[in-house]
Structure 1
């Protein structure tokens, strides 16, 4: 890594690396100003939407305090390939990949345990992995925690319709009221159609990726402008996003972690913005309240939607650094 003057920071690390997980070549981006700092494995959202550019640019201070490992998961971003077997795109396989990558990182950085952080879909994958393999992690950090997404989608849909009325958005209300909310037996196509249309209004009304990002264009522009990605990588990003959503979404939306995880063996810390209507605050808080853990805390971000890690980066970093100093 280089400082603001372009001079290489002694002891830093900045690399894009290929790893084989579950027999499939995948990529990690490793960045940290001090390679002896604790390792933080970051699990991106989506499914299928790597967040290296978003997090690294939006919260660069994380790389001062940790060796940040941004993993582009099976079927996503640089790890996308049309040769990936669709039957391997399952939650159990992604959990296995996460465990395998964790073992690689533990050995490479000579650390007995690492920290695990997940955002959105990554929080679903993260809490399932750390629940199954608690011995690998110091603690788990969930941002925009996914836990009962069918309920979350219902809350989100009611909110956007309410916002359309409040904002006197007659055109939006007409579009929203014409939409059909998928039932519990819905296949993937109705869900993708619903998500693509409903999320447009979640973003427009300030409940999306960030409160300020009222469409996905700023996010897409970040990907297209990223120097770390080749042109091929940028095409892979778009293809992998839909590929992953198509094969993983039903598992996410049909799983209720309230009934699957009632206790954790490691500390759990949840971060949610009150304006988050992609993974609504009320759903995450309810899951947290019923969860038993050796230590747990829920942090409310009053000025954030789905991404307090970027929207209120200073507050987020202060909390995370204070927690990790305990280990």
Structure 2
């Protein structure tokens, strides 16, 4: 009898917990729906252009978001980082960058294979095709907005797309902006190792550091990258957590984007969730690429923005490049990281606006 009574109590608690969970999910979904509507209406009201378009890029249907305060502004095409993580500068940020949409028709594109443009076969996604799609996107914007200046804005892995596309489309571009540029992940591997050598670490961490460095491959670099992220302020600015509120807002923002379904949200975080087990072809291609020669040979105007201490490209290389080439401007951003701080975002936006004048 006592056992039966105990079972009934457990079932009663389980039912209450299930009901509470259902109510919580319902509240979250209703809140999301309300927030999505508010974001959409505000963006449409504040911009002359705020629309989601479906384009054909290298034979694939792709969704892009075009947004700007006026229809006669120059075009700024955003190429997000990751790889395959459209968090910051992806389709999910309608109405979120008024500093830029005041001066540009901003084009957001979740690169093929992720977010709103997810590909079920992640191994079919290659760097060559993403570059081809970037070139097609430039061509589409040129036809859609004739006579406008067109700029490519690459962030992190997106700088590889911007630089590679500029080799083909340089004559059609007014300039490229590379934020947190990657020249070569093999170079980054060395810089990450040297940066970590200066940190105070346990004997176990020192052993992991040496083993990862000696591997000299993508898996080893990924471990070094993880260690730099957790143990330094070079990728995420741990020195002042409150300086990252805008960045944290970007991570949360996709959950109430009017342009993202729940599946799109999952696919925006898909590469981060599954790590190195997905997009292995693309990740290996990115690991092997070296953009230094391309940057040296490009004639188009180039703005390079890098936080002090960033491991993904040599500041000395960028400084020398800017000193030798009239078309290159290099700006280092203090008190920021590869993932920009609040002050970092402000500095980036000011530099981009000034560059395009």
TMscore range, shorter length: 0.7 to 0.9
- Please give the secondary structure, in 1, of the residue aligned with 2:297: coil
1:119 partnered with 2:146 = no
- Please give the secondary structure, in 1, of the residue aligned with 2:98: coil
Contact 2:50 2:68 in 1 (8 A): yes
Q: 1:205 aligns with which of 216, 232, 236?
A: 232
Cα offsets for 1:211-254 (capped at 9, x unmatched): 55699x94654444544321110111233555775222222222
* Cα separation, partners in 2 of 1:125 and 1:135, compared to 1, 3 Å: same
- Please give the secondary structure, in 1, of the residue aligned with 2:72: coil
Cα offsets for 1:28-50 (capped at 9, x unmatched): 12221222211100111111111
Q: What is the distance in 2 between the residues matched to 1:309 and 1:161?
A: 25
Gaps of 5+ in 1: none
Which of the two has greater helix per residue?
A: 2
> 1:52 deviation in Å?
3.0
Task: State the partner residue of 1:65.
Answer: 103
1:258 partnered with 2:295 = no
- Please give the secondary structure, in 1, of the residue aligned with 2:81: coil
* Cα separation, partners in 2 of 1:225 and 1:265, compared to 1, 3 Å: same
Moved more, 142-151 or 300-309: 300-309
> 1:107 deviation in Å?
1.4
Task: State the partner residue of 1:77.
Answer: 115
Q: What is the distance in 1 between the residues matched to 2:341 and 2:138?
A: 22
Structure of larger gyration radius: 2
Q: What is the distance in 1 between the residues matched to 2:181 and 2:213?
A: 22
Give the TM-score taking structure 2 as reference length. Answer: 0.74
* Cα separation, partners in 2 of 1:10 and 1:180, compared to 1, 3 Å: closer
> 1:65 deviation in Å?
1.1
1:320 partnered with 2:352 = yes
Give the TM-score taking structure 1 as reference length. Answer: 0.80
Moved more, 33-42 or 304-313: 304-313
Contact 2:48 2:69 in 1 (8 A): yes
CA RMSD of aligned residues (A): 3.4
- Please give the secondary structure, in 1, of the residue aligned with 2:102: helix
